[in-house]
Chain A
Amino acid sequence: MYSFEFTRPSDLSVAVDALKGDGAQALGGGQTLIPVLKQRLAAPTTLVDLSGIESLKGIRRMGDMLVIGGGTTHGAVAASGDVAAAIPGLVELTSKIGDPQVRNRGTIGGSLANNDPAACYPSAALALGAIIVTNQREIAADDFFQGLYATSLEEGEVITAVKFPIPAASTYQKFEQPASRFSLTSVFLAKMQDGSVRVGVTGAGADGVFRHEGLEQALSANFSAGAVDGVSVSAEGMSNDLHATPEYRANLVKVMTKRAVEALS
């Protein structure tokens, strides 16, 4: 690792000020960033650790929204009775991220800001139509994800919370790459209160997380595993690596969507 200054403010405004410095970088749980730093793929001059800011942590229900603080760990979400009652799919998702130690450090804000194409959380944010709240503004999930490791966050902008509309039903079906435990292809399926269905897919797209309109339309009209059969999922735009071809991933999108429908039926 290159050397850097380390600062761990307990106040968000202090952190935001520190992030205005040249070469400053925010640190969430560090479960991605620390390995990146070890490989010398990043060289911040100052690391601003957000883990000491209590106001970024916590889970609360506000009307028809579930609000999760940006610094809330995956483990805290997985263990939350409020989350289990409101959005059980988020418990399924967070309890399958990495391993227990990773879940005890990794945060929702860090995962969304990093937007790894095989990370679990982006699929839930997209499928549920989440609102990403930062120290500056609110961003709709549909506008937030901008391709591989890219988001609409500005320099120094910090995710303070994520607001999830509470759906009628939700589930996360993960097909994991067994060595990395990232998603090879996973589907977050949400049946919204108005009856519409949203399908978020992670791990499959060459440009990262995406919603599949064809599946959403078919399932909104007829919520059944059979409806998935009639949808064509193209291999075009799917990623290709030593673990899976685009065709394999395209097939998995349908398989995992079917499993999701069956889990909710």
Chain B
Amino acid sequence: MRPKGVKMATISMTVNGKQLSGEAQGNTLLVEFLREELKMTGTHVGCDTSQCGACVVHVNGESVKSCTVFASACDGGTVATIEGMANDDGSLGVIQQAFQDEHGLQCGFCTPGMVMSIADILKNNPQPTEAEIREGLKGNICRCTGYHNIVKAAQSAAATLSGAAQAAE
């Protein structure tokens, strides 16, 4: 229920390459806007206190916790979410496939944020060390896997992506 007298604003953003608009109040969080207004529920809310990282998306190319960013602050911006990580034909993207291959998920709740954080790590550092991967995942909490297989998935994705980059040269 929207309280009476609360001003709504129309917010537009490019989400996974598509121009989308919706209504938001001043205090609407980006994750609420994505899930409840745009109906893109791939991005999860774990803790809602910016600890767990299940809600990580990219805003203007930088990874952020969408539970700790206002939707209105992203008006006119570019947002990338887990829904954009699959290949165009619907098959799993490289990082997603690596999670499946390496058993990087159990319950899967943290996985959208993990995948988005790893995409950010590999964008800035295509061949990270294990320590750099663990450091880069500091803002993501997983309660199932103990992180080992998530780190392996990141290493596997890094190898696949850098192999593909070398093959293209």
Contacts and interface: CB of A to CB of B under 8 A. Distances in A.
Interface of A: 1-6, 8, 27, 30-31, 34-35, 37-38, 47, 49, 51-52, 75, 98-102, 104-105, 181
Contacts of B68: 30-31, 34-35, 105
B48 interface: yes
Nearest to A4: B26
A34 B70 contact: yes
A4 B27 contact: yes
Interface stretch (B1-9, B36-44, B89-97): B1-9
B64 A104 contact: yes
Nearest to A51: B73
Nearest to A106: B68
Nearest to B60: A104
28 contacts: A1-B27, A3-B6, A3-B26, A3-B27, A6-B9, A6-B72, A8-B72, A27-B70, A30-B69, A30-B73, A34-B50, A34-B68, A34-B69, A38-B48, A49-B72, A51-B73, A75-B62, A99-B138, A99-B139, A100-B120, A100-B121, A101-B50, A101-B63, A101-B139, A102-B139, A104-B62, A104-B63, A105-B68
B39 to A, nearest CB: 22
Contacts of B69: 30, 34, 105
B53 interface: yes
A34 B121 CA distance: 25
Q: Which 3 A-B pairs have the closest CB atoms?
A: A99-B139, A6-B26, A104-B62
B3 A99 contact: no
B27 A37 contact: yes
Contacts of B3: 3
Interface string B56-71: 1000001111001110
A68 B69 CA distance: 23
Q: Interface size bucket, B side?
A: 20 to 34
B102 interface: no
Given A34-B50, A35-B49, A98-B139, 5 more contacts: A30-B68, A30-B70, A34-B69, A75-B62, A101-B65
Contacts of B16: none
Interface string B66-85: 00111011010000000000
B100 interface: no
A35 B70 contact: no
Given A3-B26, A4-B26, A37-B27, A100 B117 contact: yes
Nearest to A95: B135
A157 B117 CA distance: 35
B128 interface: no
Nearest to B63: A101
Contacts of A34: 29, 50, 68-70
B14 interface: no
A3 B25 contact: yes
A86 to B, nearest CB: 22
B136 interface: yes
Looking at B62, B63, B73, which has the most chain A CB atoms within 10 Å of its CB?
B73
Contact of A101 (B53, B70, B72): B53
Contacts of B70: 6, 27, 30, 34, 47, 49
A34 B136 CA distance: 23
A259 B10 CA distance: 52
Given A3-B27, A30-B68, A51-B73, A100 B139 contact: yes
